[in-house]
Copies of this chain bind each other. A is one copy, B any other.
Amino acid sequence: MENFIYDIPTRVYFGRGQIEQLKRELPAYGTRILLVYGGGSIKKNGIYEELRQIERETGIEIFELSGVEANPTIRTAQRGIALCREYEVDAVLAVGGGSVIDCAKAVAAGRFYEGDPWDLVLHWDRITEALPLLTVLTIAATGSEMDSIAVISNEETQDKMAMKHPVLRPRVSILDPSYTFSVSAYQSTAGAADILSHAMESYFAREEARLQDYFAQSIMKVCIECAPKVLEHPEDYEARANLMWAGSWAINDMLKLGHALPWSVHAIEHQLSAVYDITHGVGLAVVTPHWMEHVLKEETVDKFYELAVNVWKVPENSDRFAAARAGIQALRDFYRSLGIVSRLSELGIDETHFEEMAEKAARQAEGSYQPMTKADIVQIYKNSL
């Protein structure tokens, strides 16, 4: 295990009705709050009205940045930064899924940066400070509610890249599983695929870290158990709750401690959703099995074998490659059972941009578990077609 620092100070209020806690928490961070959200769903599910009630009761003042995109753009973040400056905002409250929270993170940090906020994506060391961020999560997927990462898109350059810094980690997150009852089957399964992917990417590492490995497997098991339940009964509170909590732990740094590496599948997928605006979790589900087949070899087979046996319940087998392949097949079958497409062509993607996307992805995946050259990634894209 490599040396590490564990420091995850986000306070999480988990369960039904926990939004009440914002009455005490919000005033602790100031009197002028920027509310960041996407479309109108927070007006339908009652959260918006709850917040207006809290505003009246506590005397805080809420300003609004709405219309955050599914793949949030630096342009929208710029609008938020301008609002923070104009209204001298004290803290940011993101209500939504990962896209909204990521945008809010870019706003919170961009508030203190005088230059073009895209610089912060390119140069993380220019992030020095951020407004306190609180979140109310409405979909189990990215884990942004407890991590220090924001993924931002740049429409001009067709880039989609992550920024990461401890000051971006939310101070407080409200996780009420009942808010996810209304998440569509499509988005629910894409979210589960995203969580599963975070756990899998963290799991593949060169250094030994057994607790982290088993925790990663735990998260995978929760996804496998609970995603089908959610599909069948969208209002299954226990399944929604388990999935939501697993989502937060899949990427809050815990799994990577002591054996952190850059992720490759995420790098490969981010290019797809940057260019084609597809749903991130779906892109991951399509690409992951092909990445696995590409890197399965003598040197990696033990990690795959353990995954197959512990998570996919593949019987123990002296032919480790056979068991490893059965595990990859089980992952494919699982995605199929959730109704997730298995080919890029089904998403309207063809070879047109593979070369340029692979070049960017290879740069982002540098140092990952298995080396990924541009040629490797083009091959994975082609195999996924």
- Contact flag A5-B12 (CB < 8 Å), given A210-B225, A218-B217, A249-B211: yes
| Chain B residues with CB under 8 A of A2 | 15
| Chain B residues with CB under 8 A of A226 | 210
Q: Is A63 engaged at the interface, CB distance under 8 Å to the other chain?
A: no
**Residues 1-55 (chain A) with a chain B CB within 8 angstroms:** 1-18
**Residues 262-284 (chain A) with a chain B CB within 8 angstroms:** none
A12 and B7 form a contact (CB under 8 A): yes
Interface-located stretch among A237-245, A292-300, A318-326, A346-354: A237-245
| Chain B residues with CB under 8 A of A11 | 5-7
Encode contact with B along A236-263: 1 for CB under 8 Å, 0 otherwise: 0110011001100100000001100000
Q: Which of A2, A5, A217 has the most CB atoms of chain B within a 10 A radius of its CB?
A: A5
Residue of B nearest to A241 (CB): B1
| Chain B residues with CB under 8 A of A18 | 3
Q: Which of A3, A6, A18 has the most CB atoms of chain B within a 10 A radius of its CB?
A: A6
Shortest Cβ gap from A112 to chain B (Å): 23
A16–B208 alpha-carbon span in the complex (Å): 15
Q: Which residues of A contact B (CB under 8 A)?
A: 1-18, 177, 208-211, 214-215, 217-219, 221-222, 225-226, 237-238, 241-242, 245-246, 249, 257-258
The 10 closest A-B pairs by CB, nearest first: A3-B15, A214-B218, A6-B12, A210-B242, A1-B241, A9-B9, A7-B11, A211-B246, A211-B245, A210-B222
